[in-house]
Chain A
């Protein structure tokens, strides 16, 4: 199939893998973080690690929109959904995320009106069809999804819809990367930069990583060869002792981002002073809220949101997994108490979560792979 098979060609992969191996200095270990959960998913889904020399470890980063939502916000959303005449709309990813009283799926089974939508604009359709109901869209995601939320708010305002609002949980990627760089328990050699986020914000915001922290960044696409090529580009920089920002995903990512999308976000949303990230704690200026001008569409103002902070379950180590300090399987409850069927942590929920990706796709060691191919 065109535009897919070219990016999954095994021969090209072998050639790239050989070049990557050549660039490894003997005795040196390399830790590269893929910031974006979409990359984590690709890596496991295509078995990309099979191509990497053992000296290179991929560390899974915090860029999974569902994974970073703290339990308190899920509880807030449930409280909103339980208000009279409310229809809550949400992306499918969010449906399984556990709050302290189960997930959206459980709430739906108890009779709360929660509907899955593929686009925030579908929420407007539901709002138009149900004028006597109040439709609240659970807005989540990084700069990737924020523009579509912004456009939805603008459209709702233009139409004068009175029964639509958003519960805004949009977060921004750069403060999270900075928090990881400042974290003392992790030493990284370079970053595979997020692809979809960069289609909106461009590559310029990552320049501080290369300049101030001396770490190379390569913004990457989502096909396996994209990622393998990005690893090659990172290794090339490391072998030359360079640290710059490069754009592997130039077929989609403009260096300066998408000005229309940025304008829509800027028009409707502004930075919050601080926001709680699951497992990472409070990070200042790391999330967006609805601007006062659009207060009529801000569910946090229209409804009384409990806003109670709920501690993550003590056994859950999502924070360490999100920061890349722990590999998914190193978490105490991984695969026993916490499974995709009954997740305790968010990382086990989204297909982009490192734990879910590892559990669903990667639950085999190299030894097992070898044994199976022998038998």
Chain B
């Protein structure tokens, strides 16, 4: 297997090992005769007729099984714009490895028509401007025809560029309606629109009369605010909210407003940053003892869980429902790599790699080809069990559930 040179920010595969960051070159002696034989084989492969693309169900996911010869040759590059620095960087640390694992598994199973996938990772910093710059770089310099990205405030900025450059972006954003605004914007996630009915039912059953929401002062806050307010009004619950700035550390002023309002419950609905855990902690430390809710499964992420500490007990949230047995191989592999179990977003991002693989196989390695193929995803076998199809609005539909932390364990509850 030829050694592949690794460049700054680019992840490549070297014989089953994924490395990142610094420049490393593995030199391997190849005899001239073997080199000629490999070259001949490549020419023969290039001359072979390509398999007709099929919009039907995606092939079963290898999930760690190397059923075919490992991929080789010029890689198909996927751009990745995740936050590696900034308030949301904790997520980047957790999710880039999941994407790397996806790429590894794709390549171990033969890649896309024998060619491997590789990643071009750039730091979005969780900031719209930096994210657009990162996307420009991976598309216009590294020539990737598809970008895997994350966070509503980032995607909101990137989707205009996606339309201009005709390069699809696919993410795990949870703000409903964003994928409607751009034909090149796709999402594999559960949205607030999916989980709000569960929350609504739960709040009604609990008899809450006053709700206070903490939302970030980013685009996700703008989207979530009317949804939460509208739902509260429908149930006859008094509603108030406060917007917090990402990266702030002292939220006692905001929390004091919540205390003054006298809520029955508090919900944080944002990007799942540690800020939200900090807010809830500071709320408790100002004497607010009401139940705490989250609009996403962020507490399944190690960094969030650690930030919550003891306060996690009783925390109620909604998120993707997946089958741990179906996902066992992925969970085990992630645990071996990282030392702890993956969160729900890791599963979603892992799935995205395979969606992109299938899209390249069916649509070709162009922005428009991948865009069309992503639109046609039907009965995709998720690593979390079950199948996923892309909706007409370019948003996948997934099963959701409500959970609560009980005795330190994530326990599914009925609303």
- A and B: interacting chains: no
A binding-site residues for B, Cβ under 8 Å:
none
B binding-site residues for A, Cβ under 8 Å:
none
